[in-house]
Amino acid sequence: MVRRKCIGSATLLGIASIFGFAKYPKEKLLVHHVFFWLKNPQSQADQQQLIAGLKTLTTIPTIRQIHLGVLASTEKRDVVDTSWDVSELMFFDDEAGQKTYQDHPIHQAFVKNNSHLWAKVLVYDSLDV
């Protein structure tokens, strides 16, 4: 027998908050943002290979959410770094989750198979306040 849940609109909003839709999330997550500078930034093939490699990371269980990005066409201002090529933004529950990801065989295989593509990597790890 399948037990079904009966919930109202307020509860649905509550669920939305739990799942991170709230504009100002109550959950405190670890934000891991990585920027890659390609050796051959003009090569679409290299960019696509790196993005394909990054997509293999999504199966690592401690990643709560992942966004893969390229440079946006926002206004060019002095404070905006537009020199990078590909970005990877991940959320983890905590620093232990991020460590598990770092040490995971899928992540290590990604680095081994793709590190020839990039000239520079820069990482920002922040903790929600």
Give the footprint of its own copies on this chain (CB under 8 A): 2, 4-9, 12, 15-16, 19-25, 29-33, 35, 51, 55, 58, 63-75, 77, 79-82, 84, 87, 89, 95, 98-99, 102, 121-129
d(CA 11, CA 27): 17
Strand pairing class (30-38; 86-92)? antiparallel
**Cβ proximity to its own copies, 12 vs 109, nearer residue:** 12
**Cβ proximity to its own copies, 9 vs 42, nearer residue:** 9
Report the candidate in 7, 107, 11, 23 with the shortest Cα–Cα distance to residue 58.
107
Least spacing, CB of residue 84 vs its own copies, in Å: 7
Placement of tokens 């959950």 in the chain = 27
**Cβ proximity to its own copies, 43 vs 66, nearer residue:** 66
97 CB-side CA count, 13 A: 17
Least spacing, CB of residue 100 vs its own copies, in Å: 12
